[in-house]
Structure 1
């Protein structure tokens, strides 16, 4: 994925002390003392980067598979997550990170909205660190209750103090770094959003938000408000963006913002059209995510495949509407791979260190094998992207450390983890029975209306005392 190097039909990558030191033709790279990992009939790619994954929900895999967004959210916040204990939070995060590694994802942005106490937050962080993955622990702000701190300002202040404490304790050059996920836009007074953004900027935290995420709804839609108040921070990671106007996507592009697209959940849950082409047309390089394995498969290969074929379908439909037959495809498998690797590395501010197989970069390397196939491939890259699953991911390396070898995760007792994960799911499901009942469709409709009214109220407060109608008329 390094355009200056190109591809090598019979290539090799030399790794020393966690760093890529040579990339080229196998016959040109000599290192007699090196361990050899045989990549015959395989494709070597950079480690994939998932820019939005709720690792803490990994124990409840598949639970939201048939749910629309607000059905899913009501269950998530009012039933499933409150039913998750501190030990199961750590286990879920650990399992989620291992699922990512197993599928060739070496870096994740863990958007941690799930915890309702400091103990839960620290448990999730421990789970990530224990797995050996590269991760951004994006601590999610809100004004919900947090341990003994009550709903409102107390809960919000307790969270802000805790993320600062976690940041001070976590090495900035470690595999797991602390970041921030904003309070869901519109769910807290705008002054708190302003404080969160400035806090993240001051502490150089990777900062993300679920933004403009639901077509035909005002919820999470605050791009214009941020722009009006000088809060379009460079490098901010905007998640979903299915409800952007052209002006809003232009604001993101001009501020050097990044976009994370969760193709499958956006399609399933009624969020709108994943904005692949809209991003590219505005100079934004889109990155990809799974969102949550509570609804979709935990591998990024399936998301690359779905994003590519979805965009091809829309492009072909545009041509069909002109009464013509499509004769060209604008996007190919290399584009899809770029969305899942290089673009993800850029989105998290690490393209200088990961995202391509380039000498001098850290060795996040994945081997996709065709051992299971009955025939050879006429186009190995296409086979790797379109025909492969996590079962075909043979080797995974993070900063030079092998995390998966010969198709199996290493360094962990996988049989024991499966037993513990099954027991954890059972505990969560038993606790769910003690929570409030699942909402009816009428209650979900009211839940959405309440969220929209709260958003209107909080975003309006961004302009209190700033301008009157008379001011506006005089400016005209």
Structure 2
């Protein structure tokens, strides 16, 4: 029911999307209620029968693998083989060092598996990923928000030939727009560059390799690399012959465009307020700063109805809840 509703919502929106069906129970473990991941294989196959995953299809199906732990390697192997049997890409929460090495030892590492987060990846993890032309996706705002995660994997991965892409993570605490993620990644990496410079006694000056990324690199992470990470890099992510017309038009006439490279304006100065129009596969989904084909009032009512069902189910309302995240709690 949840999967079908999500698929329908993507179709109604008219956006290009990849729906990842979660095979794992994540931190809940393999509870009796949720059951082993194989229990969800038939429903994934059912959905696969309705989602062709063609190069030009707006909606594509993927699977989210279970956590990779030393005692669950065989489960991970079964899930990867299942995903390849039905020809869908995969992703997983890459939360611990050595997970990419473990997949490689199983002989299953491929570009159709996308690691997310990857904060604690080893140099060997990243070397293996770079050697196959793989990607990793950083949810930079979420990593920074958590406050306890290494971010060195972005530069280390980039230096190993890994293509960096951007994600957002959970919508209840993170801005789902890609533009804030671009800015946070640029500023965070520049901050980390500065730490290295001070530690090594270098003056603050441009020299080869400093800063690690230019704004144009960040734009590539959010566009071409995003397409590659989702397995559709030959279809979207670039403005070029043969690519789908997925376009975002920025209107900077209100206050003007920053001098120099327009990428610098997009990464450091622009925001969603400047997005005038959005085209997906040649069709306008936003034009003149208004959504096209979307009844926003209906969307708000559906969201509020879903919220009320959840509150009714748990028997509490805002004000009585404790906000918890990453094992922290606030009264």
* TM-score w.r.t. length of structure 1: 0.61
Q: Which structure 2 residues correspond to residues 169-188 of structure 1 after superposition, within 5 A? A: 169-173=50-54, 174-186=57-69
Question: RMSD between aligned alpha carbons?
Answer: 2.6
- In structure 1, C-alpha distance between the alignment counterparts of 2:324 and 2:205, rounded to whole Å: 47
Q: Gaps (5+ residues) in structure 1?
A: 1-118, 446-476
What's the CA shift for 1:199? 1.3
For CA contacts below 8 A with separation 6 or more, give which structure has more relative contact order.
1
2:301 is aligned with 1:419: yes
What's the CA shift for 1:171? 2.2
Structure-2 change in CA distance of 1:250 and 1:363 (3 Å): same
Structure-2 change in CA distance of 1:414 and 1:434 (3 Å): closer
Which of 173, 191, 203 is 1:295 aligned to? 173
Structure-2 change in CA distance of 1:190 and 1:353 (3 Å): same
Aligned position for 1:127:
9
Aligned position for 2:151:
273
Aligned position for 1:260:
137
Aligned position for 2:21:
139
Aligned pair count reads 313
Aligned position for 2:38:
157
Q: Which structure 2 residues correspond to residues 58-457 of structure 1 after superposition, within 5 A? A: 119-142=1-24, 150-151=32-33, 154-173=35-54, 174-186=57-69, 189-211=72-94, 213=95, 222-269=99-146, 270-273=148-151, 275-328=153-206, 329-373=211-255, 375-379=256-260, 380-433=262-315, 444=327
- In structure 2, C-alpha distance between the alignment counterparts of 1:255 and 1:359, rounded to whole Å: 26
What's the CA shift for 1:265? 0.4
Query: For 1:266, what is the secondary structure of its paired residue?
Result: helix
Structure-2 change in CA distance of 1:265 and 1:300 (3 Å): same
State the Cα deviation string for residues 60-80 of structure 1 (Å, max 9, x = none). xxxxxxxxxxxxxxxxxxxxx
State the Cα deviation string for residues 389-442 of structure 1 (Å, max 9, x = none). 11111110010010000111111111332233234334434434469x86999x
* TM-score w.r.t. length of structure 2: 0.86
Structure-2 change in CA distance of 1:264 and 1:224 (3 Å): same
- In structure 2, C-alpha distance between the alignment counterparts of 1:439 and 1:310, rounded to whole Å: 26
Aligned partners of 2:245 and 2:281 also within 8 Å: yes
